[in-house]
Amino acid sequence: MVIPMEKTHLLYIAGLILISIISTYVLIYLPHGAPILVLESSFFLFGLGLNSTILLWTIGGYLLIRWFRTNRINPSLIIWSISFFVYSITFLAHIFRALGFPIANENLSPLHFFAWRWVMPCFSAGILYGILIILTENKKLQKIPTFLTLILGFLWLILGLFIIPSENPIEVTMYLFLHTIWIPICFTMAYIFAYYGYKAKETGPKLVGVGFFLLMVSYHGWAPWHFQEVIYLYFIWYFLFLLSLTPILIGFVVMSVEERQE
């Protein structure tokens, strides 16, 4: 059988030629990369922030595309999409902090922390609102928990960072917010998706549930290991956070496939 040559195959041929040229140069000269001094001690933060941002954008982008392809009939998709995009702002800060931009250092002052962390109450309220729309048609049951989450989240940020006397206001704020809002909502999302997947006998929701559970666990690890003397262990929990986004992404993709098969 003869496979006809198509114009699109010329891209493959051009790519192969380009790769061959680059490989030939590398084999002959064995070049050393130029140093990027600003990343010598922050490359791990740069890498984790970059990967987290890409995964969050991918999840948000996929949900947005899914919303358009389903004729925009499911508002949960667009709400979740916006929530993931907004959440990525925190990790963009990590990228720029690693590149040496002082303004992106959220630990520099309570004001800097607020500037890069206000997205967390918004993300919490957004993902909760998206699931409540699916669970109930009662507008009050949809909006009241959402607004309470948003208001309490910002209340903890304002109280912890600017009002409650403390030697470390950022630490106080994170303890209050994580253990009263973030962790309970992540567990709630994990349970609802896992339970729905179990009842519907579908894999996609179960994977999303696993992802939210790992997301919750990764933030549980922040409290004991964010201190400077054990900060290297904090980055291991950061890796777990990064891994938690993977089953969330895969789960949403599998959910769309399972919906088409019904």
* CB contact at 8 A, 39 and 96: no
Does 261 score more than 90 pLDDT? Answer: no
Cα separation, 211 vs 65, whole angstroms: 21
Does 260 score more than 80 pLDDT? Answer: yes
Q: What is the pLDDT of residues 223-256, one digit of tens each?
A: 899 898 999 999 999 999 999 999 999 999 999 9
Q: What is the pLDDT of residue 2?
A: 52
pTM: 0.93
Closest CA to 189 of 131, 259, 102: 131
* CB contact at 8 A, 149 and 124: yes
**From 85-99, 184-198, 219-233, the region with the lowest mean pLDDT:** 219-233
Q: What is the pLDDT of residue 5?
A: 59
User: What pLDDT band is residue 123 in, cutting at 50, 70 and 90?
Assistant: very high
If you average pLDDT over every residue of the chain, what do you get? Answer: 95
Does 186 score more than 90 pLDDT? Answer: yes
Domain ranges, ordered by start, for the chain: 40-261
Q: What is the pLDDT of residue 262?
A: 66
Does 179 score more than 60 pLDDT? Answer: yes
Closest CA to 248 of 59, 57, 85, 49: 59
Cα separation, 190 vs 206, whole angstroms: 8
Question: 164 to each of 106, 115, 168, 169, 220, how far by Cα in Å?
Answer: 19, 18, 10, 8, 23
Q: What is the pLDDT of residues 37-65, one digit of tens each?
A: 999 999 999 999 999 999 999 999 999 99
Q: What is the pLDDT of residues 193-227, one digit of tens each?
A: 999 999 999 999 999 999 999 999 999 999 899 89
